[in-house]
């Protein structure tokens, strides 16, 4: 059964990136599972795709099967 989240996943991802800077997708998933225990990699990938299409994050290949996610500070209107 799917549960509504109090806080949208995309905004939570942006908050985590503001605090931690560049992060890999597996570490981001581990961090977000503290707040959303039932979160899957598929849901996280969908949220990252939404953020990337809207121009808020860069998603690049980090290592075999892993991605590095970085916030686009120029789109947020301030520098890190």
- The domain segmentation of the chain, as residue ranges, is 24-76
Average pLDDT of the residues in 12-19: 92
Higher pLDDT, 35 or 76: 35
Average pLDDT of the residues in 30-35: 92
Asked whether the predicted pLDDT for residue 50 surpasses 80, the reply is yes
* CB distance 67 to 24 below 8 Å: yes
Q: How far apart are CA 23 and CA 4, in angstroms?
A: 26
Asked whether the predicted pLDDT for residue 37 surpasses 60, the reply is yes
> Which pLDDT does position 66 carry in this prediction?
87
């Amino acid at each position: 059964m799917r549960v509504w989240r109090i806080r949208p996943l995309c905004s939570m991802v942006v908050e985590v990136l503001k605090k931690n800077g560049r992060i890999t997708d597996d570490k981001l998933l581990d961090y977000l599972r503290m707040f959303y225990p039932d979160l899957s990699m598929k849901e996280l990938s969908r949220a990252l795709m939404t953020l990337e299409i809207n121009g808020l994050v860069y998603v690049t290949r980090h290592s075999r099967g892993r991605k590095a996610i970085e916030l686009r500070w120029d789109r947020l209107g301030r520098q890190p």
